[in-house]
A and B are shown apart, each in its own frame.
Chain A
């Protein structure tokens, strides 16, 4: 029978939650909970209110108790291009914020030395840039593998996730081996190319990285394939090969839906 919440029942719930019930009384109450959906729902609201209003959320109520369908719906939303782009916007803003932070502080403290050092750097910079133009600094400022899409699911271990894990632990050799083992028939194959290229890049095997990213730029999904052009361009810059980098960047700027379209446009202008 459904219970209407009375003052007495509330007192019971309070004692139950505080762990003050024992023996037969506890057994009886738990039996009642099993049979009475309304009481269960009342108890649940009570716990949720303790967490929400009491400002001491420890989320114990929710542990593994959320509707799977809702969680999956949100997950695919977060993984959609639209939300990934918005997340990338936040990360870009953060990057600018941190770089400004690191510039401001030491400069105030040691500005005199820095000013002198700056002049020296500038002098040698101009000197060297005329001797040997370096494009690898563009690689340094644009390369970012922290945004590579992750496919780690709870409790599921695949070659792909193993690769991701070792990549995060900076064991790029092992990562390259895992990702290279992923078959073309695997639905994550295009993504594995991205991770594989990144692993080769980290290992300074630039030629292999370029070939891998070129493979990526030939996959069917236009957005994924545009990632191939972008990263290929970066590796060419790392190699100081301006011409090839520009060619890949031109591909990157062919469609405004492409990965890092704006960045590619800016970079292309800088190189030109």
Chain B
């Protein structure tokens, strides 16, 4: 059995022995990320626990394939930590009440939406992925021209428009999107 399946099985059945193995293998990397980004070891523990809970909630009822468990968990934990940091900034008042389940629940919904977008994004051609990834990472059209040696800004503009349209079409055609749409407040 692949590592990722074994880990997911352990999480949804509560196999503490394998979950401990997961800690040994993957916790140090998450801890180091959190500590390098204004967190302490307690924050790292919380983030790791919540990251694993995210995997349980999303995989328990319907399993989906995760290519690399390690990479996936890392992205989830990283986003969890970024969100925590952001919330910390908003709530400068130290007495602000924090509802853990509330925060984790909204994180789960948001992250599922992100996972869905990434899943669809992966269906695009390599060229589209390259261009759009630069575009959504905030590169200007001029910068993309230089990066990929395109003929002109106009060519890039057209390319981005075409790829983006394709992406949106795939998103809207997917059955999951109908469900996901409900998660947002209108």
What residues of chain A have their CB less than 8 Å away from a CB belonging to chain B? Answer: 5, 7, 10-11, 42, 44-45, 48-59, 62, 65-68, 70-72, 74-75, 77-79, 83, 85-87, 89-94, 96-97, 150, 152-157, 161, 165
| Residues in A whose Cβ lies below 8 Å from that of B104 | 78
Of chain A, the residue at the smallest CB distance from B27 is: A97
**Cβ contacts B103-143/A at 8 Å (1 or 0 each):** 01110111001100110010000000000110011100000
A272 smallest CB distance to B (angstroms): 23
Bound: A216/B14 CA distance, A: 27
Segment from B32-40, B63-71, B93-101, B144-152 that makes contact with A: B93-101
CB nearest to B141 among chain A residues: A14
Residues of A within 8 A of B22 (CB): 93
Q: Which residues of A contact B133 (CB under 8 A)?
A: 53-54
Q: Is B24 an interface residue (CB 8 A)?
A: yes
**Known contacts being A7-B157, A70-B109, is A153 close to B14, with CB within 8 Å?**
no
Q: Which of B71-111 contact A (CB under 8 A)?
A: 79, 82-83, 86, 95, 97-102, 104-106, 108-110
Q: Would you call B183 and A153 a contact (CB within 8 A)?
A: no
Question: Beyond A86-B56, A157-B97, is A54–B136 a contact (Cβ under 8 Å)?
Answer: yes
- Find A87's partner among B16, B53, B117, B158 (CB 8 Å cutoff): B53
- Whether the Cβ atoms of A150 and B100 lie closer than 8 Å is yes
Main SS at interface, chain B: helix
Do B16 and A57 touch (CB < 8 A)? Answer: no
When the two chains form their complex, are residues A66 and B83 in contact, meaning their CB atoms are under 8 A apart? no
**In contact, A78 and B105 (Cβ under 8 angstroms):** yes
Chain A residue with minimal CB distance to B177?
Answer: A45
Q: B184 in the interface, Cβ–Cβ < 8 Å? A: yes
Known A-B contacts A53-B136, A70-B109, A96-B20; the reply to A75 vs B101 at CB < 8 A is yes
Known interface pairs A93-B16, A96-B20, A97-B20; A50-B136 also in contact (CB < 8 Å): yes
A211 to chain B, nearest CB (A): 30
